[in-house]
A and B are shown apart, each in its own frame.
Chain A
């Protein structure tokens, strides 16, 4: 209770407004219930001290409570009604058992059966209780694997042939190769891969790329390994500009983002590496220098940094960084060395010998860095109130409750996901459990790998799509929150993304209007963690997997697109990162998917436009950071309202081109455009024509 009681809180109550003593007693009731805010409790105590009648009444009311409770708890029904109730249910009087069908006609019957359902439910219940009690347990074992494997749902005819791509990787000149030791993966960290950042790095208006690299832990760096910088020539082809422009980075890097950290008009790079977070300062024209030491980001040899996200969390006009960490792989490696045990086969998954992870590796907590300006940062991790170690893979910075402050959602592996609600002043509190986005609808923690945010239902609030391990489903959390009160509903199955995703292991994901019909679609980069899953063909999963597409139907619903419904998606790869960009400047969103131990896939969007329009917005902050992550733009076109939020570090290990893009259907212009900047400023724009990117500068 905040702000104290007020007489008008009970408008329907015919009694006159409360007197001070009544207000005090109501507060004392909350104090006795353990539900009062400290300030309210102090206020009530102060009133009671100065008011003899109040002081006398309180024990009498507590006694009345006890007397009423004792009498009520003695109430029993006339007889045990469980028997008659069950008999009536079995006679069909209740209309049949539940869960024969779910909304949307998708069956969930038989998903869990018999004793297995019972112990899964009990495990879920225990997890919920422990979490509710403030305990953050490491859930034991890999019980989620025990879910019944089901074949993937057939493609939904509603998806149609909605998208077409051509593989433009070779023609674009992207010769990059990732250096994971595919034939000899011994440690989990070697199989997680690396991502890519897409952004205009040299300031010429088109989208460039940085591709991160990693290699084996037990051997030296291979010849030619390391991240590569590719500059767009303006025609959708790229030039490898690494030599002389990009300093060598010693760490194996997983996540990367591009953002103008120092506000000088040039986008810098943040690399989440194995042992260090590194920043590369762009001196202009994509000429980078290593600024890590000056930035105040120390080496942490045992830290396995996975992904980074940038936003202005404290609204001081400077970008801050949130960087996830997974687990202490190094200490585990050292332990294995002492045991002289051959690594790579000490774990077990469905009978397969596999490398160990996540357990028994020790999970690590995430890092929050406050931007001080001038490419300097200070560790602000203490602001993550009560943080306990998790197996964090990826965070997305998004205003989850619409209160104007950018929050952080973290996908964690086998543990409850985290929603760090921004309380202001670089203070955050995990409210995922209360908000309904820590566990899935069945109350279980999933093996979260990545997360994407978008607004497929068009309500202006960010929904979340979490990618998970195979033999589990994509999880779609639909946002039902309000300012200060984040709330989500698990719509994985009703929305249509759940059933078809069961046998895939997803990493990067994105909401994107690929066919420009005005509705956000979904694309997921799949690829298994274990190279030897093919040794168990009955599992129905494979190491290399195709991208997966879901066509947006509006209202937050999707139709699964079969492989044939998306031309150009025929090649299985061990995908990891995923970035959206318009590589060739034709207004359609292209895809860049990174792979483990292989080359990237640049899939150029060739979906027939058939008169469909698009519009884009490139934002430049003034009071907000120059790259205004967290800015939210809403427009109306063709009578429909659509919203996009600028997110930097928006997919697993990757960061998409920082341009807000909308499909408009057949509408020729966008109307009623409202832009909320991270500074809090709200700007209304006049109607703007489709077919181009508009540059918007924040009013001073």
Chain B
């Protein structure tokens, strides 16, 4: 874990709001990606991402291993999305640009390059939407956040071997669906 991030986690646990704000900026992409992988609608995603951080702020005293903040936050995000889905009775599916879920970066240099990224981004998200929930979350944690396989496994209560197998199957599926 980056020492600055860990420092912010420790400070936030002691009530430092500015430190928590830095954590929000650092991890809002992760939370948004996790939430968007289960929840449709741009406004719902944004509201729910905010709710996730509010829950995290409230529960920070319960976090006994600050170096595991990322995984802990991810679990809150996943649970929040599940709660939301239960309440809204929304059929789970992957988000896409067409459904107004999340956006690719807007400040890419060069219109052509930006267009290519946007198309690629859309294709990957569509393919992700075909995975089962757990595999999709594992892929996000592994390839967006760079979390260790063993840490993701611990988060889901799996063995590292089982998680490696899950990721392999997910990659095979994604490869088939990404021309």
Contact B28 A82 (CB under 8 A): yes
Contact A64 B174 (CB under 8 A): yes
B83 at the interface (CB under 8 A from A): no
Interface centre among A23, A73, A79, A109, by most B CB within 10 Å? A73
- Pick the contact of B64 from A79, A95, A441 — CB < 8 Å? A441
- Pick the contact of A94 from B3, B54, B64 — CB < 8 Å? B54
Contact A81 B125 (CB under 8 A): no
Number of A-B contacts (CB under 8 A): 225
B32 at the interface (CB under 8 A from A): yes
How far, in whole Å, are A629 and B98 apart by their CA atoms in the complex?
A: 69
B109 at the interface (CB under 8 A from A): no
Contact A93 B65 (CB under 8 A): no
CB distance from A443 to the nearest CB of B (A): 6
Residue in chain B with minimal CB distance to A95: B58
Which residues on B sit within 8 Å (CB–CB) of A126?
Answer: 3
Contact with B along A81-98 (1 / 0, CB 8 A): 111111011100111011
How far, in whole Å, are A120 and B175 apart by their CA atoms in the complex?
A: 47
Which residues on B sit within 8 Å (CB–CB) of A18?
Answer: 165
How far, in whole Å, are A27 and B106 apart by their CA atoms in the complex?
A: 37
Which residues on B sit within 8 Å (CB–CB) of A73?
Answer: 29, 143-144
Which secondary structure dominates where chain B touches chain A?
helix
CB distance from A446 to the nearest CB of B (A): 15
How far, in whole Å, are A129 and B1 apart by their CA atoms in the complex?
A: 7
Contact A71 B45 (CB under 8 A): no
Contact with A along B32-61 (1 / 0, CB 8 A): 110010000010011001100111011111
How far, in whole Å, are A112 and B14 apart by their CA atoms in the complex?
A: 7
How far, in whole Å, are A436 and B65 apart by their CA atoms in the complex?
A: 8
Contact A442 B10 (CB under 8 A): yes
Residue in chain B with minimal CB distance to A9: B162
Number of interface residues of B (CB under 8 A): 79
How far, in whole Å, are A112 and B144 apart by their CA atoms in the complex?
A: 34
Interface segment, A28-36, A215-223, A505-513? A28-36
Known: A30-B160, A33-B149, A77-B49. A71 touches B124 (CB 8 A): yes
Residue in chain B with minimal CB distance to A66: B143
How far, in whole Å, are A27 and B17 apart by their CA atoms in the complex?
A: 42
Which residues on A sit within 8 Å (CB–CB) of B55?
Answer: 94
A10 at the interface (CB under 8 A from B): yes
Contact A75 B15 (CB under 8 A): no
Known: A1-B161, A72-B33. A98 touches B172 (CB 8 A): no
CB distance from B143 to the nearest CB of A (A): 4
B110 at the interface (CB under 8 A from A): no
How far, in whole Å, are A389 and B33 apart by their CA atoms in the complex?
A: 45
Contact A35 B148 (CB under 8 A): yes
Known: A81-B24, A98-B60, A117-B11. A443 touches B6 (CB 8 A): yes
Contact B161 A26 (CB under 8 A): yes
- Pick the contact of B167 from A29, A78, A83, A85 — CB < 8 Å? A29
Known: A29-B149, A117-B11. A64 touches B1 (CB 8 A): no
A378 at the interface (CB under 8 A from B): no
A158 at the interface (CB under 8 A from B): no
Known: A30-B149, A89-B54, A122-B7. A71 touches B24 (CB 8 A): no
11 new A-B contacts, CB < 8 A, other than A68-B124, A441-B64, are A5-B161, A22-B168, A30-B160, A33-B148, A67-B178, A78-B103, A89-B57, A97-B15, A98-B14, A98-B61, A124-B7
30 contacts between A and B (CB under 8 A): A1-B159, A9-B162, A15-B169, A22-B165, A29-B171, A64-B175, A67-B120, A67-B124, A76-B29, A76-B104, A77-B46, A77-B49, A78-B102, A81-B50, A84-B50, A85-B50, A90-B17, A98-B13, A98-B59, A98-B61, A99-B61, A117-B16, A118-B11, A121-B14, A122-B3, A125-B4, A128-B6, A129-B2, A442-B10, A490-B64
Closest 8 CB pairs of A and B: A71-B124, A125-B6, A121-B10, A72-B144, A125-B3, A69-B143, A26-B164, A125-B7
- The residues of B with any CB-CB pair to A shorter than 8 Å are 1-8, 10-17, 19-22, 24-25, 28-29, 31-33, 36, 42, 45-46, 49-50, 53-55, 57-61, 64-67, 102-106, 117, 120-121, 123-125, 128, 139-140, 143-144, 148-150, 159-162, 164-169, 171-172, 174-175, 178
